[in-house]
Amino acid sequence: MAHELLGMSISCRALRHLLSVCVVTLAALCTGTALASTITVTTTGASSRTQCNLTDAIRAATTNTRVNACRAGQPAPATDTIQLRAGNGTTVTYAGYGAGIWIPPAPNDGGPIVLAGGASGFPGRTLISAQDYGTPSESSGICSGSAIFSGGSNVTIRDLTLAAAGSNPPATGICHYQGNVTVDDVVVGPSGDGITTGFTESGIWSYGIAGPQNLIINSTQFFANYGAFGAGAVTLEGPALTTTITNSDFEDNSAAAGEPGAILWWAVAI
């Protein structure tokens, strides 16, 4: 049997299929699964009206608005992926992007965010060659200059190399001062692309002080980082922090006298 729909003849089978597609699509929209956004970073350098750079992409994801050439992120529960690219047999280096990588705490984080490179190792890896662009006011007194400040509710950093570089390198790789962070398949330390020194105040410093937060580290390499005050690789501080570390390597990390090179946990914030 056929029915008319908007002046067109349509069979019962086709009509049922059309209605089922509409229901599935509407359900996806209602749950946010169809609204997840991939923000592709198209330039390795400074902000531009015609190219999407790294810090504009971060702003687009955290504010859920279009920033220059970067498409808008989508609000929670949708996950926004900021996609960096891998090289075709060569390293792609993101440097001189003009501002710090800062993901503020909820509700100003814009929802879950994934910062995704193309690869963490040779050949063709993705490298963030970080400089010290200053410290966000809300994390002042908690973090020193860092390559990435993460306070968002759910942040994932994966498939890239994070290194300190430039004439004013940051002291810490990732400052985790609130929310939940997953670090997956990341190299933290010298990249071998002319960068020979690691971070000088921990590869990751996680502060479990403001409230319950989680740090997950998986398949990550910490190489040649130093801790002037904490550990060279990972420093954990405060009683409200849960940390899981799996399948990760710690090599040639060191610290000041009396502190470990790999991992240090202070149960009480100091």
Q: What is the pLDDT of residue 87?
A: 82
Least confident of 85-94, 211-220, 261-270: 261-270
Q: What is the DSSP letter of 204?
A: E
- pLDDT over 90 at 5, yes or no: no
Mark whether 17 and 128 lie in a shared domain: no
Instruction: Write down the mean pLDDT value for the chain.
Output: 85
pTM: 0.85
Mark whether 160 and 255 lie in a shared domain: yes
Pair 232, 170: CB distance under 8 Å: no
Q: What's the mean pLDDT in 195-214?
A: 87
Mark whether 127 and 5 lie in a shared domain: no
**pLDDT per position as a tens digit, 123-132:** 678 999 999 9
Pair 62, 18: CB distance under 8 Å: no
Mark whether 233 and 214 lie in a shared domain: yes
- pLDDT over 60 at 251, yes or no: yes
For residue 27, give its domain range.
1-31
The SS3 assignment for 18 reads helix
Q: What is the pLDDT of residue 227?
A: 95
Separation CA 172–CA 106 (nearest Å):
22
- pLDDT over 80 at 22, yes or no: no
Mark whether 24 and 143 lie in a shared domain: no
Pair 63, 110: CB distance under 8 Å: yes
- pLDDT over 70 at 209, yes or no: yes
Mark whether 14 and 68 lie in a shared domain: no
Mark whether 20 and 125 lie in a shared domain: no
Q: CA nearest 204: which of 191, 154, 97, 181?
A: 181
- pLDDT over 70 at 205, yes or no: yes
Q: What is the pLDDT of residue 35?
A: 67
Separation CA 128–CA 18 (nearest Å):
46
Could you give the angle at the alpha carbon of 95 between the alpha carbons of 66 and 122, nearest 5°?
Answer: 110
Least confident of 107-111, 115-119, 165-169, 243-247: 165-169
Separation CA 265–CA 253 (nearest Å):
16
Residues paired with residue 223 on neighbouring β-strands, in sequence order: 251
In the structure, what pLDDT confidence band is assigned to residue 31 with cuts at 50, 70 and 90? very low
Mark whether 208 and 127 lie in a shared domain: yes
Mark whether 148 and 253 lie in a shared domain: yes
Mark whether 59 and 140 lie in a shared domain: yes
Domain count, the chain: 2
Q: What's the mean pLDDT in 46-75?
A: 96
Please identify which residue in the block is written with the tokens 């100091």.
270
Mark whether 25 and 99 lie in a shared domain: no
Mark whether 21 and 116 lie in a shared domain: no
